[in-house]
Amino acid sequence: MKTKAHVLFSGGKDSSLSAILLEPFFDVHLVTCNFGILPTGPIAADIAREIGFPHQILKPDVSVLEEAAKTAQKDGFPNQAINDIHRHVLALLAKTDGVSVIADGLRRDDRVPHVPLPEIQSFESKNKVLYCSPLMGFGRATINKMIDSHLVITEEESAGMLKCDYEAELREYLSQDIGEEATHKLFPKSHKQSRVISRIRK
């Protein structure tokens, strides 16, 4: 019987590809983090069903998002805030019953979230879990090639599509707190987001 691997899942192409990469080796379960600010859970669940993996929602305390919002305002940009959320989510997932292998969709060229090697090693040994980032050895162009033959993707401006990631809820939380305009200034210019439509099966 294969070991279970819990893959953090935003409904985007990177976390979907991570799940597909692990599929021959693990019993893959997708996990979407939701703070109760946006209805990202059911959207992610639909995409998970479409690509053929079991899915669950992880609900960290909203205080994690509140703290991150303060950090983003203090810094003037969201990088550290997103890093902080990611660490909290990893720690919470590691403490969840039945979790022994955790994966995320981080890529070689990602700036955030970023987990340095000594922190990874201490996280694994402290929590007695294994942690991996299946895309860490791949650049954007290689990942796109791999996605092309396995997933059907739609790409739209961020504003037009709800992504099921930390940033979406952090933005929404800040918008409600400090207004849309002030929030807009904290985040990089709107860029194209991707969402997975379906899986190409051979």
Structure tokens at 9: 């899942």
Comparing CA positions, the residue from 19, 4, 11, 16 lying closest to residue 46 is 11
DSSP output for 92-145: HHHTSTT--EEE----TT--SS---HHHHHHHHHHHT-EEE-TTTT--HHHHHH
Can you give the binding site for its own copies, defined by CB under 8 A?
Answer: 2-3, 20-21, 24-26, 101, 106, 108-109, 117, 120-121, 124, 130-139, 141-142, 145-146, 149-150
Query: Which tokens belong to 15?
Result: 């976390």
CB of 89 to its own copies, least distance (A): 17
Nearer to its own copies, 67 or 124 (CB): 124
Q: Which is nearer to its own copies, 5 or 81 (CB)?
A: 5
In whole angstroms, how close is the CB of 62 to its own copies at the nearest point?
A: 30
Contact of 195 with 161, CB cutoff 8 Å: yes
In the DSSP assignment, the letter for residue 56 is: E
> CB of 109: closest distance to its own copies in angstroms?
8
Nearer to its own copies, 63 or 122 (CB): 122
Nearest approach in angstroms of CB 120 to its own copies is 7
Which of left, alpha, beta for 98 (phi over 0: left; psi -120 to 50: alpha)?
Answer: left
Q: Based on CB atoms, which residue is closest to its own copies, 26 or 166? A: 26
Indicate the residue among 27 and 50 with the shorter CB distance to its own copies.
Answer: 27
Shortest Å distance, C-beta 4 to its own copies: 11
